[in-house]
Amino acid sequence: MALGIVSFALATFGPWFNLLLGYGLMAASIAVAVLGIWWADRSAHQVHRNPGLTNGIFAKSGATLSVVALILSTYYTGLLILVLVFWPLLFVALLLTWAFHRAWVDSDVPSEVQA
């Protein structure tokens, strides 16, 4: 969905140029891409809890497409320049987020124990 919004936003930069609509669609694609990454992460963890499901290829491919849409959106909005300038702060924030995420996932009590 995020790639579709990016494609639609890039179409607004053509003959029907509307800067506000283009940036609005890019912001929407960033939001949908972040939501897609979150949803793919939840799906990937669900595979670990229930081995009867697929091997997680759908979650991995969904996360990959969302990351591609996120990169395209940040490139065309100019946010990629901010990411490149402030990459040390972003790197530390991502490390802290990953650590809290792993602690939260590892502390999750299995459903058999809760029953």
Residue 106 falls within a domain, yes or no? yes
**Residue 115 pLDDT more than 60?**
no
Mean of pLDDT values over 31-50: 78
Structural domain contains residue 82: no
Query: Domain total for the chain?
Result: 2
Q: Are 104 and 37 in contact (CB under 8 A)?
A: no
Dump strand ranges (E) for the chain.
Answer: none
94 in the same domain as 52: no
For the cut 70, the answer to whether the pLDDT of residue 37 exceeds it is yes
What's the rounded Cα separation, in Å, for the pair 20 and 51?
46
Same domain, 63 and 93: no
In a domain, 14, yes or no: yes
pLDDT category of residue 72 using cuts at 50, 70 and 90: confident
Contact 29, 12 (CB under 8 A): no
Are 17 and 55 in the same domain?
yes
Residue 110 lies in a domain: yes
Residues 73 and 92 grouped into a single domain = no
In this structure, what token pair is assigned to residue 95?
């490390």
Q: Say what the pTM is.
A: 0.63
60 and 109 assigned to the same domain: no
Q: Output the CA–CA distances (angstroms, integers) from residue 9 to 19, 32, 34, 88, in the order listed.
A: 10, 13, 17, 30
What is the extent of the structural domain holding 100? 87-115
Q: Is 70 exceeded by the pLDDT of residue 23?
A: yes
Same domain, 63 and 110: no
Please check whether residues 97 and 65 belong to one and the same domain: no
Q: What is the mean pLDDT of the chain?
A: 77
Give the single-character DSSP code of 13: T
Q: Is the pLDDT of residue 14 over 70?
A: no
Percent of the chain exceeding pLDDT 90 equals: 2
Q: Both 102 and 66 in a single domain?
A: no
Q: Which of the four pLDDT bands, split at 50, 70 and 90, describes residue 78?
A: confident
Judge whether residue 86 has pLDDT over 80. Answer: yes
